[in-house]
Structure 1
Amino acid sequence: MAAVAEAPLFTEAEKVAKLQAAVAGLSQISENEKSGFISLVSRYLSGEAQQIEWSKIQTPTEEVVVPYESLAPPPEELGSTRKLLDKLAVLKLNGGLGTTMGCTGPKSVIEVRNGLTFLDLIVIQIESLNTKYGCNVPLLLMNSFNTHEDTQKIVEKYSNSNIEIHTFNQSQYPRLVVEDFTPLPSKGQTGKDGWYPPGHGDVFPSLLNSGKLDALISQGKEYIFVANSDNLGAIVDLKILNHLVHNQNEYCMEVTPKTLADVKGGTLISYEGRVQLLEIAQVPNEHVNEFKSIEKFKIFNTNNLWVNLRAIKRLVEADALKMEIIPNPKEVDGVKVLQLETAAGAAIRFFDNAIGINVPRSRFLPVKATSDLLLVQSDLYTLVNGFVIRNKARTSPANPSVDLGPEFKKVGDFLSRFKSIPSIIELDSLKVSGDVWFGADIILKGKVIIRAKPGQKLEVPDGVSLENKEVNAHDDI
């Protein structure tokens, strides 16, 4: 019987050369994007991932992770505040779609409260700063090819606002076919499925490649505040900006105390004399439980980042930002593909005089699912000048834990199942499953579980108050 011929194994150099030839023929992306992509894949193939030596990890001191309470108050004089704010630009990461919440288009246009979207609130906040202090803080939106067109149309409605809005696109990279490491678009997948945005670590090269970085520097801007567009707590903070300017910190990551809900979030460590982000993916298996413990690793990354613009320019031009690569396997039409991504927080170790600031939990209010939407639409918060302010009547520093079943996953379904959002000031936890509908003016306190039996509709009537109760049928109310 004839021997079966073995498939040839390509060397790393041959794989890269083959990929370069294929990528060269992709007319949809720029030369900068092509070289950025090849560089990322080459690094991935070389297996250069830095192994963390667990014994070398040290807890950062208060000089490295500065307590927010210890920050000096910002200047009170209007002219000094204006000078400080004129050094700042705000950038919101706007590449995500609202698909997990059943919406089409950019996630930032989901209505959050009082008919206002994430983007409306961001614009109102910055506009009120510009008006109050007579400054010019511009807003930049980093879109992906998924959100670019819709965002361009949406920002037109702010054309008469007291705010400069700039949009630019992050890189567009081809997905890699796992089987033979060729780009999916060169195999005929020319639609959007052939491409991906390579994570928010791409913010730094994209700022430079778009020309936005040089434009900001030429306007005298020194710092950029980068945050996720769905984090309602990520507002401009004068105390933080003042601290960074005075201490000439090139990079600052806002961290906040970890709760049991955040055990997978990245944390800051001191490692070989530098501050560094440690993500769960980098943790050896035998130390994962230790990483998740809130005794040893007490803080996590909010992804609110303050970065010096000239430092970004220096490091990107020197090709020095070699952030850890996050491989993200996907499947497109039955074909196994790989997308390689990086995270902006991982860049902290390349900047000089980088710090963390341990901020109050109020600066971390992301809306990732409809259960988060319930919190921000409830009486736990009020809206003042575009700022979502926590109700002082809530005595517990933590928010209630809310777990809504799949019937509530899409925003449209969520809104239709509540006549009005219940009062949850005194709620500890809420778990809802099955075909449940809520009337108006309901009050929930303590620990509440509402479960509709399979095939049955359960309506909670108007005006009901439920405290430490489990409801499985109408008779339990």
Structure 2
Amino acid sequence: MSLTVAALTRGAMTEFEQKLRQQHEESMHAELEALLATAGRAEAEVSRKDFSGFKNLFHRFLQVKGPSVEWAKINRPPEDSIQPYEKIKAKGLPNNITETLNKLVVVKLNGGLGTSMGCKGPKSLISVRNENTFLDLTVQQIEHLNKTYNADVPLVLMNSFNTDEDTKKILQKYSHHRVKIHTFNQSRYPRINKESLLPIATNMGMTGENAEAWYPPGHGDIYASFHNSGLLDNLLAEGREYMFVSNIDNLGATVDLFILHHLICQPADKRCEFIMEVTDKTRADVKGGTLIQYEDHLRLLEIAQVPKAHVDEFKSVTKFKIFNTNNLWISLSAIKRLQERNSMDLEIIVNPKTLDGGLNVIQLETAVGAAIKSFNNAMGVNVPRSRFLPVKTSSDLLLVMSNLYSLDAGSLTMSKKREFLTTPHVKLGSSFTKVQDFLTRFENIPDMLELDHLTVSGDVTFGKNVSLKGTVIIIANHGDRIDIPAGAMLENKIVSGNLRILDH
């Protein structure tokens, strides 16, 4: 008899269910050992460490008894646990910026592919501004810091098995830059058949029928992988104290000297081991994780953990006013302590997938921010929106390529010519999803300094030097085409049908 995912979410376990779970665990262990037997010696050594983490996750998954949070126990965080950025900034800069910076490591989460934007290979290698990729901009930012302050801040990339090879090839081009670059790989976990709760892999290979059998288990894996790689110990031995972690596609996630100074200048007994940068929610961010007080700890609450009856409440911008940017500052010695004690208990995210052949599988994942509850004196800092500038879609790409931003030493800053601090709301249709298609539809990027809202749908192209202001909606119905001519200025316009707009 099979124990399905649905059965795992009920209340207290019967003796029968406990036996059933034990059988599943034993079957899983046997399957993993059989997979390891198909690996070479070096690969088996790495995979054994990976599987150790996976077994722990799978064991905890089998013990699940309903939602990981009880809604009635959720409280707003105490006021002093989320500090406004201005208060942190008021403390000023460190006396010796070089010495302070030399205690820092910058870590970028680089495990993702560019498939959602129609690109092959690592997302970090997509060009986002003036032919610069996410990785180029990151290297430029850190090199600028190192040159300006005569510092030695290293860059660490957490790759996945999907991105490691391509990323390492590219790294050679930075050999003459003033940045030391290290990499380590996050774990490789087996996808599980939703019905049998056993791995779908037949061997350790990554091609053919096994191509879809493996996955990188979310960025919460950073703690174990960083520790297991040996890199954490090496950096501690160099005198590094904190790491600044962010997604590589968040172009707003630059090193902030004020936050770093706040961490370093605390007395040893009160030192904060974990800062999560949060920012105010808008209607576009309603699904973002938020900070709550839960059983005397600051904790990250993700939408996946919210009981269905309370999802609308979670999305409310009045009750939960802030969300997690995934820009995190974390003590390296605290990571080592928690890993050695095996005391980092991250909530499990069960991610269901349907593979190309129609097979239903689940992936067990964790999130890096969920560890906040395990660290001493953890806090949130409410940062300006400018520190959250992710590029997830071609709509985001249009914003960062436009004259809304200027580029300086790898950092994007909002143009002083824009009257509003907020960015326009941009929605591009499916014809723009793939980066290559997107680029062919713009002869150059329109002037967007005075734009509030842009919706484009269907077969639409833009000529050179187009200017968009206020609210602009352009909809070409199926079979129609709209060409916006060079030099056109559209202000508060709705355009539809099948036409070419005449020069204004």
Q: TM-score range by the shorter chain?
A: over 0.9
Helix, strand or coil at the partner of 1:124:
helix
Q: Hey, what does 2:226 align to over in structure 1?
A: 207
Q: Describe the superposition over 1:205-226 as per-residue Cα deviations: whole angstroms up to 9, x where unpaired.
A: 0000111100110000000000
Helix, strand or coil at the partner of 1:226:
strand
Unaligned runs of 5+ in 2: 4-16
Q: Hey, what does 1:256 align to over in structure 2?
A: 279
Q: Hey, what does 1:99 align to over in structure 2?
A: 115
Alignment of 1:4-23 (within 5 A): 11-23=20-32
Alignment of 1:68-217 (within 5 A): 68-71=85-88, 72-75=90-93, 77=95, 80-186=96-202, 190-191=206-207, 192-217=211-236
Are residues 16 and 70 of structure 1, via their aligned partners in 2, closer, same or farther at CA, if it must alter by over 3 Å? same
Q: Which sits farther off after the overlay, 213-222 or 61-70?
A: 61-70
Q: Hey, what does 2:49 align to over in structure 1?
A: 32
Q: Report deviation, 1:40.
A: 0.5
Q: Which sits farther off after the overlay, 187-196 or 265-274?
A: 187-196
Q: Describe the superposition over 1:362-413 as per-residue Cα deviations: whole angstroms up to 9, x where unpaired.
A: 0000000000000000010010111111112222222111111100000001
Q: Is this contact kept in 2: 1:252–1:355, CA < 8 A? A: yes
Q: Report deviation, 1:335.
A: 2.0
Q: Report deviation, 1:50.
A: 5.8
Q: Which sits farther off after the overlay, 244-253 or 136-145?
A: 244-253
Alignment of 1:58-457 (within 5 A): 58-71=75-88, 72-75=90-93, 77=95, 80-186=96-202, 190-191=206-207, 192-247=211-266, 248-332=271-355, 333-457=357-481
Q: Report deviation, 1:73.
A: 3.8
Q: Describe the superposition over 1:393-441 as per-residue Cα deviations: whole angstroms up to 9, x where unpaired.
A: 2222221111111000000010110001111111111110110000011
Q: Hey, what does 2:12 align to over in structure 1?
A: none
Query: In 2, Cα distance between the equivalents of 1:41 and 1:116?
Result: 41
Q: Report deviation, 1:74.
A: 3.7
Helix, strand or coil at the partner of 1:277:
strand
Are residues 57 and 116 of structure 1, via their aligned partners in 2, closer, same or farther at CA, if it must alter by over 3 Å? same
Q: Hey, what does 1:3 align to over in structure 2?
A: none
Query: In 1, Cα distance between the equivalents of 2:112 and 2:500?
Result: 43
Are residues 286 and 331 of structure 1, via their aligned partners in 2, closer, same or farther at CA, if it must alter by over 3 Å? closer
Q: Is this contact kept in 1: 2:348–2:364, CA < 8 A? A: yes
Helix, strand or coil at the partner of 1:329:
strand
Q: Is this contact kept in 2: 1:22–1:186, CA < 8 A? A: no
Are residues 49 and 359 of structure 1, via their aligned partners in 2, closer, same or farther at CA, if it must alter by over 3 Å? farther
Q: Describe the superposition over 1:271-324 as per-residue Cα deviations: whole angstroms up to 9, x where unpaired.
A: 222111111122222222111111111100000011000100111111111111
Query: In 2, Cα distance between the equivalents of 1:188 and 1:89?
Result: 33
1:128 counterpart letter in structure 2: H
Query: In 2, Cα distance between the equivalents of 1:76 and 1:261?
Result: 36
Helix, strand or coil at the partner of 2:320:
coil
Query: In 2, Cα distance between the equivalents of 1:380 and 1:467?
Result: 17
Q: Is this contact kept in 1: 2:2–2:195, CA < 8 A? A: no
Q: Is this contact kept in 2: 1:49–1:324, CA < 8 A? A: no
Query: In 2, Cα distance between the equivalents of 1:334 and 1:189?
Result: 21
Helix, strand or coil at the partner of 2:380:
strand
TM-score by structure 1 length? 0.95
2:102 counterpart letter in structure 1: D
Query: In 1, Cα distance between the equivalents of 2:310 and 2:437?
Result: 41
Q: Is this contact kept in 1: 2:482–2:500, CA < 8 A? A: no
Would you say how many aligned residue pairs link Structure 1 and Structure 2?
470
Q: Report deviation, 1:51.
A: 3.7
Q: Report deviation, 1:338.
A: 1.1
1:42 to 59, 74, 96: 59
Q: Report deviation, 1:76.
A: 5.8
Query: In 1, Cα distance between the equivalents of 2:406 and 2:204?
Result: 51
Q: Which sits farther off after the overlay, 359-368 or 244-253?
A: 244-253
Q: Describe the superposition over 1:443-466 as per-residue Cα deviations: whole angstroms up to 9, x where unpaired.
A: 111111001122122100000111
Q: Describe the superposition over 1:314-337 as per-residue Cα deviations: whole angstroms up to 9, x where unpaired.
A: 111111111111111112323221
TM-score by structure 2 length? 0.90
Percent of aligned pairs with the same residue? Answer: 54
Are residues 119 and 184 of structure 1, via their aligned partners in 2, closer, same or farther at CA, if it must alter by over 3 Å? same
